[in-house]
Amino acid sequence: MSAPVSNQKPVLASFTSGELFEIPKHDIQGQCRPVTEFEKLNRIGEGTYGIVYRARDSRTNEIVAMKKVRMEREKDGVPVSGLREINILLNLQHNNIVNLKEVVVGKSLDSIFLVMEYCEQDLASLLDNIQTPFSESQVKCIMLQLFNGLQYLHKSFIVHRDLKVSNLLLTDHGCLKIADFGLARKYGVPLKPMTPKVVTLWYRAPELLLQSRIQTTAIDMWAAGCILGELLLHKPLLPGRSEIHQIELIIELLGTPNDQIWQVIYSCFRYNNIKHIFPWLSPAGIRLLNFLFMYDPRKRATAEDCIESSYFKEPPLRKYNSCLTQ
């Protein structure tokens, strides 16, 4: 009987990109469980790099999520994007990060599946289907879980790069899980250039819109600010139709930078409209949003800053997770 991938001794694989990956040894030797041991029940979504199914493990009768890794346009074996996601998830273990259980294979190397814990719904679908919007205490519950997950990721030197409500899963017990690590990257010092064409447009930080190739955990924090705003506003905060429109919406929200600021790109603005958009929000809540929406990524709030925010320590206090789905 083969063990879950996380218990296997890894081997190293290197690709033309220069990246070094830890790959479960039994993957290379063909000892993964076959996908035929799982019954596909229905298709539940499509991630950045693969289609996701709801499936039943025939051995344990457990319901799982099974993501088929995209293999298009790959000439030699597993695509680097799929390896990145496997490698990152194998090394993560946190209550607010989706758990990779094992890797299973089809009849050939071009058919590889990631078996992950199943979550009953994603936050985007829940927002579309709930009859009444989340209360502020429920929003605090969701965001504290998100910030705890991000704190763990960033301390593990991983930037997610595609945070949005559809990539946040919720269990029936109201536990939030960050999912879809197809665009995630490890980072270090010195920072290496990365493509700015990441993060769904509505959640994309200004530095990405301005084509910065140096990316830090601050891009995740900007996206988290957009998610917080969306939960409070009950609709997307910055629903741009194009990159130019997205920049315009950001300027409308945060104010027009003066000429000197615009030339150096990073700075604060003359004024902003956050108080006008969220008139009911407490001063602590306004401060948190402003901190998350700092134009300069070097000054933007970290996950630790957010967890310690006084916004989460004032009434209405967060509800327990179970209240989210009731």
Tokens linked to 212: 């910065």
Domain with CATH 1.10.510.10 in the chain: 121-325
Query: Can you give the pLDDT at residue 22?
Result: 54
Mean of all residue pLDDT scores within the chain: 82
Enumerate residue ranges in the chain where pLDDT < 70: 1-30, 47-49, 71-81, 109-110, 188-199, 256-271, 320-326
Q: What's the DSSP call for residue 98?
A: P
Query: Can you give the pLDDT at residue 234?
Result: 94
Query: Distance between CA 223 and CA 167 in Å, rounded?
Result: 12
Domain with CATH 3.30.200.20 in the chain: 5-117
Is 162 one of the catalytic residues?
yes
Contact yes or no for 58/38 (Cβ under 8 A): yes
Please state which of the four CATH numbers 3.40.50.720, 3.40.640.10, 3.30.200.20, 3.40.50.2300 is assigned to the domain occupying 5-117: 3.30.200.20
Q: Is 101 annotated as a binding residue?
A: no
Q: 121-325, what's its fold?
A: Transferase(Phosphotransferase); domain 1 (1.10.510)
Comparing CA positions, the residue from 115, 119, 43 lying closest to residue 324 is: 119
Non-local CB neighbours of 167 within 8 Å, separated by 6+ positions? 47, 122, 178, 179, 180
Query: Can you give the pLDDT at residue 286?
Result: 96
Tell me the pLDDT tens digit for each residue of 247-261: 999 999 998 654 444
Tell me the pLDDT tens digit for each residue of 146-176: 999 999 999 999 999 999 999 999 999 999 9
Of 27, 162, 180, 220, which residue is the catalytic one? 162
Query: Can you give the pLDDT at residue 59?
Result: 94
